[in-house]
Chains A and B, each alone.
Chain A
Amino acid sequence: AQSVTQLDSQVPVFEEAPVELRCNYSSSVSVYLFWYVQYPNQGLQLLLKYLSGSTLVKGINGFEAEFNKSQTSFHLRKPSVHISDTAEYFCAVMNTGFQKLVFGTGTRLLVSP
């Protein structure tokens, strides 16, 4: 079975500052990794995904994440956030043999002016 831990339930940050949202996963087999964003009153949108290849993955809206197999982490980063980045961010993992996505509990990113 897979599990995902998002260590921070809320991350407050000032506009134009860098941010890192942490995600650690647990799995005994190979996995695919994802970050989703949920804006207020909206559905989930895929930010980026790691399937294989380069461990540094670039996504939409200037976000990127790095897959670290030895540390079983997939932290999300952005060098300079905007007010519009205020949202809930979910890390998710999927066993490569199945299609069930297991989500973390989410991290609320609060960007202030």
Chain B
Amino acid sequence: DSGVTQTPKHLITATGQRVTLRCSPRSGDLSVYWYQQSLDQGLQFLIQYYNGEERAKGNILERFSAQQFPDLHSELNLSSLELGDSALYFCASSVDRTGQKYFGPGTRLTVT
């Protein structure tokens, strides 16, 4: 158990819909990262937040957005969903810049 929790575990939705994925970092970790893992693209970095502020952006689509709340949990919002958005979405957290990240179990999103 990494200490990072993600909900829900599985999500099935239709094209065009909007969903919200939630992540709670390990206690004391200020940084939260979102990654997408798909068969086509492999494991890709989406976005990072540090203590409520966006710190780095990766291959995140404009239809996707994220935020980190004062209690440090983070939400990833995916809108106008397409079949290609079906993937495993991971959240990770870390406390420092050395990069030791602790990954959550992921949310499996299926768009039908």
Contacts and interface: CB of A to CB of B under 8 A. Distances in A.
A94 B58 CA distance: 13
A32 B99 contact: yes
Contact of A99 (B44, B97, B102): B97
B99 A43 contact: no
Interface string B97-112: 1111111111000000
Given A32-B99, A46-B100, A106 B42 contact: yes
A98 B56 contact: yes
A36 B92 CA distance: 13
A102 B41 CA distance: 12
Contacts of B98: 32, 49, 51
Q: How large is the interface on A (under 10, 10 to 19, 20 to 34, 35 or more residues)?
A: 20 to 34
A99 B48 contact: yes
A62 to B, nearest CB: 20
A101 interface: yes
- The DSSP consensus for interface residues of chain B is strand
A25 interface: no
B31 interface: yes
Interface in A17-68: 32, 34, 36, 42-46, 49, 51
Contact of A105 (B2, B42, B55, B100): B42
B90 A34 contact: no
A90 interface: yes
Nearest to A51: B98
Contacts of A98: 56
Contact of B99 (A45, A49, A105, A106): A49
Interface of A: 32, 34, 36, 42-46, 49, 51, 90, 94, 98-106
7 contacts: A32-B99, A44-B90, A99-B31, A99-B48, A99-B99, A101-B99, A103-B45
Listed from nearest, the 9 A-B pairs whose CB atoms lie closest are A44-B103, A43-B103, A103-B43, A43-B105, A105-B42, A94-B99, A100-B56, A43-B106, A32-B99
Given A99-B31, A99-B99, A101-B101, 17 more contacts: A43-B103, A43-B106, A44-B92, A45-B2, A51-B99, A94-B99, A99-B33, A99-B48, A99-B55, A100-B48, A100-B56, A101-B33, A101-B99, A103-B44, A103-B45, A104-B42, A105-B42
